Amino acid sequence: MTITSQPSADGQELTIAISGRFDFNAHQAFRDAYQRQDVSPQRYVVNLQGTTYMDSSALGMLLLLRDHAGGDEADIRLLNCSPDVRKILSVSNFEQLFVIA
C-alpha cells in the first residue's frame, strides 16, 4: 500500500493516489495525505488506479475526507476505479456523495 499526495501548482487541487490495498492499515497515511498539507485546496482528486482492494474502513476514510473538505459542499472526485472498486462504491451508494469517473 502506497499513498501519495500532490497539490496542484496553484494549490487549488490536491491529488491523492492510492496503490495496493486500501484498508484500515492505510488509515494514518491517508489522513496525513490531506491533513498535513500547507495548502487549502478547493478540490480533491482521489486516484484509485492502482487500488487493488477496498474495504469498509476505506469507505469510512473517504467519508472523513468528505467531512474535512466541507461535507455537502465538498468537491471530491474518485478517478480511475477498477471494476471491483467501482462495484464496492456503487453498492455503498457513494455516487450520491462523490463524483466517480
d(CA 12, CA 41): 4
Closest by CA to 76, choosing from 57, 100, 49, 51, is 100
Residue pLDDT, tens place only, 20-51? 999 999 999 999 999 987 778 999 999 999 99
Is residue 100 included in any domain, yes or no? no
Q: What percent of the chain has pLDDT over 70?
A: 99
Q: What is the CATH number of the domain that holds 34?
A: 3.30.750.24
Is residue 68 included in any domain, yes or no? yes
**Mean pLDDT, rounded, for 50-76:** 96
Residue 2: beta bridge partners? 19
Is residue 61 included in any domain, yes or no? yes
Number of domains in the chain: 1
Is residue 1 included in any domain, yes or no? no
Is residue 2 included in any domain, yes or no? no
Is residue 60 included in any domain, yes or no? yes
| CB proximity list for 54: less than 8 A, separation 6 or greater | 21, 22, 23, 48, 84, 85, 88, 89
- For residue 70, the enclosing domain spans 7-93
d(CA 31, CA 81): 20
d(CA 78, CA 38): 22
